[in-house]
Structure formats: structure tokens, C-alpha cells
Amino acid sequence: MKTTGILFMAAAMTAMSFAAAPAMAQDRERTAAEAPAYPRGAERRGVEGYAVVEYTVNEAGEVTNPVVVEASPEGVFDRAVLRAIERWAYAPAATATDGMQQRFDFSLGG
């Protein structure tokens, strides 16, 4: 039973993807990224969708001020994507980079 749960979680994580980020986001080298967890309620109800997060990367490479700017359905994936993106890291730079965006797609189908 424990193995089945682990395999199910792995399949769910694989079904989720990060969409390509705008060119500005690609100017900073990402050194750490964590995929958001699929919200259990959404997973149980079979809800799929996406969320787009806009954020700043400070000089030290830390993500700051993340905000969900677009999502479908609204409010379902916000918490998961904000928790994940706050753990992301980028290479340090001389100045902060504002207006970075990342889209996260949530899909239960393989």
C-alpha cells in the first residue's frame, strides 16, 4: 500500500509541468526549482488547470514578492505554486530582476 502511494505521487508530479518562461526570466540562471504539489482536493475532484506567477529575483538570487497573476480555475492552485516558487533560487546578479513569470500546468492525465 505504501509503495502504491509513492508511485501515485510520482505519477502526479510527472503529470505537472512548468511552461516556458518569458525571455526576461531566462536572463537569470535558475539554480534550484521545486515543482508544486498537486492540491489534494483538486486531485480528488479531478480538477486540472494552471497558474501563472509573477515575481522578483533579488540580487542574492532569492525569489521575492510572488503573486498569482492568472489562474484557471481561480484560487485552486495558488497556494501550491506560491509555496513552490518561494523555494526557487537563481544565480546572484548585480541587480534585482523584476517582472519574472512562470506558468505551472496541472494535469492528471498521463
Which pLDDT tens digit goes with each residue over 81-107?
999 999 999 999 999 999 999 999 999
Distance of CA 23 to the CA centre of its chain: 17
Structural domain span for residue 62 = 2-106
pTM of the full structure: 0.76
The whole-angstrom separation of Cα 53 and Cα 8 is 26
Total domains, the chain:
1
CATH code at 15? 3.30.2420.10
Which pLDDT tens digit goes with each residue over 14-67?
445 555 444 444 579 999 999 999 999 999 999 999 999 999 999 999 999 999
